[in-house]
Structure 1
Amino acid sequence: MIRVTMIEDEKEIAHFHSLFLKKVDGFELVSKALTFEEGIQQLKTFKPDLLLLDVYIGDQNGLDILKQVRLEERNIDVILITSANDTYTVQTGYRFGVIDYLVKPFTFARFKEALQRYQAMRQETQQGSFVQKEIDQFIQRTEKASAVEKRSFPKGITEVTAMRILHALAEAGEVWKTAAELEEATTISHVSLRKYLRFFDEQSFIQKDLVYLTHGRPFNRYRLSEQGREFLDKNDFV
């Protein structure tokens, strides 16, 4: 049985995640914390195998718990469950070894997939030693799973619309495009387009250049960044 601790400051969300966990065989919720300090104490007391960790815990950051767990070399695996989808949080989670990253809101199917993937990983890594082929297979499956997870978008951002805009930028190559030009190329409304461009900028998928005019207000123009091209190459499923 895999022992689980959950740190989530919203009672209702914690309740639903607890119900989700009960539906997946092989897992037991041994403790549930609503505050940062309570979470730290429960990790010391219960020594779980798996931590389901929120990032926004009151006015504190769950990433600090993740960093502390790694600094103290505790044998705890971590799944981030959060509404935080900014570049810093995603990269920090990856660098400090989270095994999965679930962006709220998510379905039970995605939650179950994350737990069962972790379950399989634990079983595969229980043997005493590995040959190179076994290590390669394990790493490749992990990287493939990460690539699939990168397809997830936050609430209000849809895959189809995002890919349509990214494709328009990709087709322009190195040519800068204004929002008006992208609006015409994609037939997406001005308000929606601005929302997606803000999201792409936060994820470093685009480059933004502010153009100043002799007369009139300055304006932004955009083109696809190298990171955006890599994302499009890996996730071009539309």
Structure 2
Amino acid sequence: MINVLIVEDDPMVAKLNQKYVESVDGFNVKGTISNGEEALRFCQKNKVDLIILDIYMPRLDGISFLKELRKKFMMIDVILVTASKETQNIDAVLKLGAVDYLIKPFDYERLKNSLESYANRHRILCCTDTVKQDELDQITKSFDARNDTRLKKGLHKKTLERIRQFMKNNDKKYLSSEIIAEEMRLSKVTIRRYLEYMEEIGQIKLEVEYGSVGRPSHLYKYIGD
């Protein structure tokens, strides 16, 4: 069980965060605290694996709290959940070892994904003596987008594979979305959505061809997995 401390000065937000955290398997909220000073004392007396931390708090703000935590050599993991969008604050907490940073208001799914990723990290680093490279890549996120098997919302694996195979079979030439749509009997809008995704993950290359009149043509070529 992963023990979590929520440090948040807004009681309603703290209660909501507790509800979210406890909805994810494997997490237990040990307490909710409204300021950094009390949170430090709590961490010195209790076993805490993960802190859900706000930045804007009275008496001791989130960044100062995190600095004090590190000065005392308490290597507790921290996920920031805060309204702060300032780049200097984000840079500071990342350098102090924060494992994630969520800007309020946030989607529940975003926090859930963060907690599930942390649970995987915790399992790998705390329950084994050595790791393989692919396991390390999972927790450092050093692999690029083309190795991420999750699809964007609205895309379907079978349709993506059909289009990928078609592009692979015609990898010697550039093709327009109109030609691909006609050959595959799919709408141009659908084809473009999948082509944009494939370009993003590095499977196809886009070339823009400028003619003498009209709009430029977008041409696509398969470049590999």
Band of TM-score, shorter chain: 0.5 to 0.7
Contact 2:80-2:98 within 8 A present in 1 as well: yes
Provide closer, same or farther for how the CA distance between residues 140 and 78 of structure 1 changes in structure 2, counting only shifts above 3 A.
closer
1:53 aligns with 2:53: yes
Greater share of residues in helix: 1
C-alpha separation in 1, matches of 2:53 and 2:19: 16
Partner letter of residue 12 of structure 1? Answer: M
SS of 2:31's equivalent in the other structure is strand
Q: Structure 2: where are the runs of 5+ without partners?
A: 149-225
Report the counterpart of residue 66 of structure 2 in structure 1. 66
Q: How does 1:13-52 map to 2 (within 5 A)?
A: 13-52=13-52
**Cα shift at 1:134:** 4.5
C-alpha separation in 1, matches of 2:92 and 2:52: 16
**Structure-1-length-normalised TM-score:** 0.56
**Structure-2-length-normalised TM-score:** 0.59
Kindly tell me the number of residue pairs found equivalent between the two proteins. 145
**Cα shift at 1:31:** 1.2
Q: Structure 1: where are the runs of 5+ without partners?
A: 149-238
Contact 1:31-1:46 within 8 A present in 2 as well: no
1:128 aligns with 2:124: no
Partner letter of residue 128 of structure 1? Answer: D
Q: Tell me the C-alpha RMSD between the 2 structures.
A: 2.2
SS of 1:56's equivalent in the other structure is coil
Provide closer, same or farther for how the CA distance between residues 27 and 129 of structure 1 changes in structure 2, counting only shifts above 3 A.
same
Q: Percent identity?
A: 29
C-alpha separation in 2, matches of 1:144 and 1:89: 26
Contact 1:52-1:81 within 8 A present in 2 as well: yes
Contact 2:117-2:139 within 8 A present in 1 as well: no
